[in-house]
Amino acid sequence: MKLTIERTALLKSLGHVQSVVERRNTIPILSNVLLEAKGERLALTATDMDLAIVDHAPGEIAAPGAATVPAHMLYDIVRKLPEGSQVQLELAGDGGQVAIRAGRSRFTLQTLPKEDFPSTAAGELPHRFPIAAVDLRSLIDHTRFAISTEETRYYLNGIYLHAHTGSKQHALRAVATDGHRLARVEMPLPDGAENIPGVIIPRKMVGEVRKLIEEVDGAVEVSLSDTRVRFAFNDIVLTSKLIDGSFPDYQRVIPTGNDKTLEVDRREFRDAVDRVSTISSEKSRAVKLSLKSGSVVISATSPENGTAMEELEVKYEGAALEIGFNARYLLDVADEVDGDGLQMVLADAVAPTLVRDMADAMALYVLMPMRV
């Protein structure tokens, strides 16, 4: 293997793949990135066994071939090379080393046998559909904050993606919950997604995909089987195992009979909750909403710290009601609402509360109240 590649292109691709590589690895080869020079391109592959990423960068290939080198080390080297340099990568020392040359800099990195690099083949992925990057960003952004970190209920450690057959319109739905809050977002079902199985995409995959599609304009191609998911866009392919478990029947916990509607200015509400919650005890983070016609008083009391309260003018015509929430959860939801108006639909102080973005009918949140 011998090739020359622009530092910028190499750094960008390395940046994409290196974050998949765990900092600590019990299997040494998983710390390495697989470099494969073929045709006009260098393919870079990294994996943690569950998640694999391949990115491609254009290069001048003098001799095709492959090698594996420590991913973070190579990334750090390339990052520190002067901007605009041309980087030459060459397999040297009977294949035991990769020599890196750029300007006056010379490095050699120890390799591990490329044959030992785990296969990242995903097998058959029978379902395939396109989704606009902007839509995928929306699905992820509006749900990922609710992903659980609880180890025992591992099936909550991701976003549940599935096709919902509605009476009027079919939708692609993303759902996440940690038991305290639930986020559900949908979009019109893309062509080809009609028969997809419901899948749980693990948190790490969600994070990597989201990071990499930040700048993507076009479509992302999604491929699925019962056990794996793949996202392909630009020169990047991300493949991940799915979480093997069944997502709870979330429809049953979404309230349908709530009758008290509260409408607030999202920013005003968010900031007030944020201010008042300064007082709340670290452990519970509880704030109380006291609703009466036309106003809500947000308050917090802590035996150690003191008290706080703030009154907001709101649209509310229901009966007076006092209800407590974890301030963190209110803030998370308020942050994810894009529009100016936030609507809460309540029943009583102990039942789940619905939260909606008044500018976006596709997103829906459920919050469990706390006793205050």
> Does 153 help bind another protein (rule: CB under 8 A)?
yes
Q: Give the full edge-to-edge strand order of the sheet including 260-265.
A: 199-202, 158-165, 170-177, 181-188, 360-367, 353-357, 341-346, 260-265, 315-316
With binding defined as CB under 8 A, does residue 355 bind another protein?
Answer: no
Q: Which of 299, 280, 279, 278 is nearest to 289 (CA)?
A: 299
Q: How many angstroms separate the first and last alpha carbons of the chain?
A: 66
Nearer Cβ to another protein, position 134 or 253? 253
Q: Which stretch binds another protein (CB under 8 A): 13-21, 177-185, 197-205, 313-321?
A: 177-185
User: Binding to another protein (CB under 8 A): which residues in 294-323?
Assistant: none
Q: Does 282 bind another protein (CB under 8 A)?
A: no
> Quick one: which of 237, 267, 274 has its CA closest to 359?
267
Least CB distance to another protein at residue 207 (A): 20
Among 148, 157, 239, 240, binds another protein (CB under 8 A): 148
**Residue 181 binds another protein, judged by CB under 8 A:** yes
Counting contacts by CB under 8 A, is residue 159 touching another protein?
Answer: no
- Kindly state the smallest distance separating residue 81's Cβ from another protein, in Å: 46
Neighbours of 38 (CB within 10 A): 14
Least Å distance, CB 329 to another protein, is 11
The nearest distance, CB 324 to another protein, in angstroms, is: 10
Tell me the CA distances in angstroms from 271 to 266, 298, 360, one per residue in order: 9, 11, 21
- Residue appearing with tokens 């997604």: 193
Among residues 20, 182, 296, 364, the one that binds another protein under rule CB under 8 A:
182
Query: Of how many residues is the chain composed?
Result: 372
In 3D space, the residue among 11, 29, 25 whose CA is nearest the CA of residue 120 turns out to be: 29
Single residue of 179, 294, 306, 339 touching another protein by CB under 8 A: 179
Among 30, 33, 34, 156, binds another protein (CB under 8 A): 156
Cα distance between residue 50 and residue 278, in whole Å: 40
Residue 140 tokens read as: 């992820």
Among residues 249, 257, 303, 304, the one that binds another protein under rule CB under 8 A:
249
Residues near another protein (CB under 8 A) are: 148, 150, 152-153, 156, 177-182, 248-250, 252-253, 284, 350-352, 366, 368, 370-371
